Amino acid sequence: MKEKDKLITAICVVAVFAALRCSGLALVSGISMEPTFHSGDFVFTGSADTYQVNDIVVCRFDGAKLKSIKRIIAEPNSTVEIKDEKCYVDGKYKFDSPGYNNKTWNLDDESYFVVGDNYNNSGDSRMYGPVQKEKIYKKVIWPK
């Protein structure tokens, strides 16, 4: 084997181990993320230091036993309001939210507001409140 081939092989081995260490596999359970993900789908997750609106994350709500896969719709220091069954972030309309009404959350420096893509069938921040950054474990990196 040529030196160049050995080097390429070594780099590939290191890259594979690094990818396996930094990522994980999560199983989607339930319908709250439809149509993006369906129950039984697998997603690859990775660590992240920062999160932003539209990131899909693996998180745990306070008091919950299981982790959830949800989409971030509001970052720290935002205001989320549900008024007349419509959800607004910092005054901008996001989506209809039947069954939820007249509630406001002022997010602190470490809080995120997360919801399922299937708005009408999702237990999320509208029900359990914002998620603290320390309760966000991974970000979905594939598929997106």
State pLDDT tens for residues 7-60: 455 454 444 444 545 568 999 999 999 999 999 999 999 999 999 999 999 999
**Predicted confidence band at 99 (pLDDT cuts at 50, 70, 90)?**
confident
Q: Which amino acid is at 132?
A: Q
- Catalytic, 47? Answer no
Say if strands 103-106 and 68-74 run parallel, antiparallel, or are unpaired.
Answer: unpaired
Q: By C-alpha distance, which of 28, 94, 21, 95 is closest to 58?
A: 28
Q: By C-alpha distance, which of 94, 126, 103, 95 is closest to 113?
A: 126
Asked whether the bond before 98 is cis by omega within 30 degrees of 0, the reply is: no
CATH topology of domain 24-142: Umud Fragment, subunit A (2.10.109)
Active-site entry in 2, 4, 23, 70: 70
- The C-alpha angle 101, 102, 107, rounded to 5 degrees, equals 110
Active-site entry in 23, 29, 32, 135: 32
- Catalytic, 70? Answer yes
